[in-house]
Structure 1
Amino acid sequence: MNKIASKPTVLDQIAGPESCDMCGNAGLKTELVRNPFIYAVGSGAVELSADIPVHTCATCAVSFTDEAAEGIQHDAVCRHLGVPTPDELRALRGREV
C-alpha cells in the first residue's frame, strides 16, 4: 500500500522573486513551507520533511517551487540516508589535506 504524506504547513512569509514565472505579472507571494514527502516505495517508504520556499501568484493563482526547493529536499534525503549533502561534499573536496 502506498503511503500518503502529511499536509504541508506554512511557517512564514519570506522574500522571493518579484514576478510570476507562469504569467509574468508582479504580486508573487513566497512562503516557507514545511513540506512532508514520501521517500522510497513499499515497506521501505518513509515520510521525510523539508522546509522549502513555495511561490504563489496573486494573478494566475499558480503555486510552484524552484531549484532551491529541489536542493533542500535532496539534502533531506541525504541526511536520512546518512550520506553527505552536495554542499558537504564540495566542502570536503575543497579542504586541504
Structure 2
Amino acid sequence: MKSEQALKLAQRLGDLIRQHRTLHYTQSTFAKMIGVSRSTVQKLEQGEVVKSDVLFEALVVLQLQGSLLDEINELAADVGGYNARQRKTNKTQVINDDF
C-alpha cells in the first residue's frame, strides 16, 4: 500500500507535468522525447506508478526539476516534516592537523 503522501506527490507532479507539457507538446511527441510510449505519459500525468528515471527525464525535458523539491517540501509541511532545501548548511569544519 502506498502512503497518502506518496500518492499526493505523484498526483501533484503528474498535474504539473501535464500543465507544462500541453503548452508545448502533444503526448505522442513528448513520449518520443523522453523515450517512452504515449500510454506511459498518460500514466505519469495521472499520477500512476512509473519508473523514477521516466519521471526525472520528464521533469528535466520540461525544465521542472526544481519543482520536485518544491512539491516535496509542500507535502512535508502538510504533515509536519522538514524542508529539504534547508538541509544544506555552510558550516565551516575545523580540522586539527597538529600531529
TM exceeds 0.5? Answer: no
Higher helix share: 2
The structure having more radius of gyration, on CA atoms, is 2
Greater strand proportion: 1
Give the TM-score normalised by the residue count of structure 1: 0.32
